[in-house]
Amino acid sequence: MGKKPNFIVIMTDDQGYGDLSCMGNTDFVTPNIDALAENGARFTDWYSGSPVCSPSRACLMTGRYPGNAGVRAILAGHRRASGLTSKVPTLASALKREGYQTNLVGKWHLGLAPECRPNQNGYDYFYGFMAGCVDYYSHIFYWGMADGHTNPCHDLWENENEIYDNGNYFTEMVTKKAVERIRECNKKDEPFYLFVGYNAPHYPMHAPKKYMDRFQHLPWDRQVMAAMLSAVDDGVGEIIDELKRCEIYEDTCIFFQSDNGPSRESRNWMDGREDPYYGGLPGGLKGHKFSLFEGGIRVPGIFSWPNRIPAGQVIHEPCGAMDVFPTMLKAAGGKPEEYELDGKDIMEVMMKGAHSPHDAIYWEMDNQTAIRKGNYKLVLNGVLVEGEPVQDTVFLSDLSKDPSESNNLAKIFPELTRELQRMALEWRKGLEKNWEENFAENYDTKLT
């Protein structure tokens, strides 16, 4: 094998399926992210591992379904919070074995306890925050203090050192540090892996005036969404520009994904309103963050690797975040078969037009369970918004004809429904067993 490629994973936070112009958005554009899609492969049926952020990130980083990675729910933000541990290898630790420099800038949200931090989970370098969200300018984690016993917590780190950079906009800080890491890593002979975790457009809805001014024609909820994503898009452009300056763009595999669907949480409004927030678009899909209907888990998925992945592809095969680990590891010369993974190498899907390697893909969230097999999707105990009643106990849809999951086919195809239900519950049973045997004791509800 010749020179090993570099890898960059870019993940946004609570960004809807329909909030990029390359995914159909019309009220603002994202030209730099669009360029990644134009120069590579855009998946229309790409899935996160969960409809919420911590499990979604665990899935991508470990190549496992979240429950098999030891992270099944949104993790707390205080400094005792449990999360991911070195018991489960990450893509970073696997690439490190292959001679890679490993870096993470931005959001972690996989635990703050000493054994759960990025530097203990394969990353040589970490810069960012470890809770679920921070104020974009003070970098303080405020969420949760309304319970009366959780204090605000400053949350900005460089490796194990707490640092302060008050007044600077975090999205721009992530971009600046990502560019610095590319430049520094390129000085060495070893290839690098860089995870760029933008927390935009997760609440609080903050954006500098220069971005807000670009979208004065939009109502506030869309204006601030557009501004926050425009800052991310500018950052993606700066990352690409740096790769080109370093003359390594052609040899760098870049992957872009949102962690889950858009948030309808009322705290997005920031003006005391308590009605659901509609600033993020699920792109005509049903459901949002917290839901196992498509709007909660189908997200933009884009691969760009000029020297290897043919440009201009639009791929409709169902694949997902757990596939990033084996795909990148194998491309680096590693052996995915040496790891316990739920994901599959999908390079042939992008290189040769192969079908998805998955017979079925599964999800679970609280009492919800879902399976996609071919064009059919079954959701058990599906909810549209957290805290609301179950919409349908059993909901079957044909996504090839009904991507918005508008028509319940469960009574029309009873045998198929029973078979998919059997598969989903059998999978869930195995996951629960693995959880109890290997991970449950790591979670003390008094601490997390």
pLDDT tens digits, residue range 202-233?
A: 999 999 999 999 999 999 999 999 999 999 99
- Mean local confidence (pLDDT), 407-416: 98
Given a cut of 80, whether residue 186 has pLDDT beyond it is yes
| Residues ≥6 apart with Cβ < 8 Å to 226 | 27, 28, 214, 215, 218
pLDDT of residue 76: 86
Q: Report pLDDT digits (tens) over 15-46.
A: 999 999 999 999 999 999 999 999 999 999 99
Q: Report pLDDT digits (tens) over 285-336.
A: 999 999 999 999 999 999 999 999 999 999 999 999 999 999 999 999 999 9
pLDDT class of 147 with cuts at 50, 70, 90: low
- Mean local confidence (pLDDT), 338-349: 98
Q: Report pLDDT digits (tens) over 264-275.
A: 998 899 888 888
pLDDT of residue 77: 86
pLDDT of residue 448: 34
Given a cut of 50, whether residue 447 has pLDDT beyond it is no
**Average pLDDT along the chain:** 95
Single pTM value for the model:
0.96
pLDDT of residue 442: 79
- Mean local confidence (pLDDT), 128-153: 85
pLDDT of residue 391: 87
pLDDT of residue 386: 80
pLDDT over 70 for what percent of the chain? 97
Given a cut of 70, whether residue 169 has pLDDT beyond it is yes
